[in-house]
A and B are shown apart, each in its own frame.
Chain A
Amino acid sequence: MMYAWLFRHLPGPLWARILLTVLLLAAVIVALFGWVFPAIAPHMPFNDGLVGAAPRAG
């Protein structure tokens, strides 16, 4: 629905829209891997291998 809407509103011929879609997806993944996931990982409960009240972040 919304993705179909987005795809229809991309400019250019079909091949350009497909290319644009791939580029947009790649940009989203880069942003997720580079910034979003590293920012939320410290709040996940499975990374901490320390004992005691050691400094959790810093």
Chain B
Amino acid sequence: MIRAIAIVIVLLLNIQMPVYGAQAKPLEDIRAPIENGIALLKDPQYAVASKRDEQREKIWEIIQDIFDFRIISMMALAREWKTFNAKQQKDFTEAFTELLKTNYLNKIQGQFHDEKVIFLGEDLLTEKKAVVRSKILRQDTEIPMDYKVVFSHGKWRIYDINIEGISLIKNYRTQFKNILAKESPDALIERIRETTREEKKNGKPNA
């Protein structure tokens, strides 16, 4: 009898019920959208000028899904965020997101030439913070690119990109910090808008 109990206890201890992790893996959350984006870029139906805007919109949808622009904006200002009033915070987030969108969509759409993205792996730093490592193969060069991701609102989203050791957020933070040392938040927001306008004027890629 005792033996029967013992056996049952041992069995119970060894049954591994599938424990559903609190979150899916970071790599999976961003890999599929990125690969979809690349497929979109390669899709021959968008090679005509008339379809470029449509392609842009679709790519932007993907980007909005996997990047967390609010966290990105907050981190780009760091401590200065709290010195902005609510309207300025909102304007800044809008302006900065628009800057990133214009600049990087132009670049992605205009300069994509069959690069391949190879995902190398992920490093979970804390429960909510991870790094997804990848490299971009372009002609004969390899460019290491890391995505820093945060788990918020149920999925992993990107909050920083690291290319060859250069962090995008840190780069903008340096610039904004220096501008805010001499100018007001509204002036910074206006400068961001100015940069975006310049880019819109000059940068739109041709088919």
A binds B: no
Taking beta carbons and an 8 Å cutoff, which residues of B are in contact with A? none
Taking beta carbons and an 8 Å cutoff, which residues of A are in contact with B? none
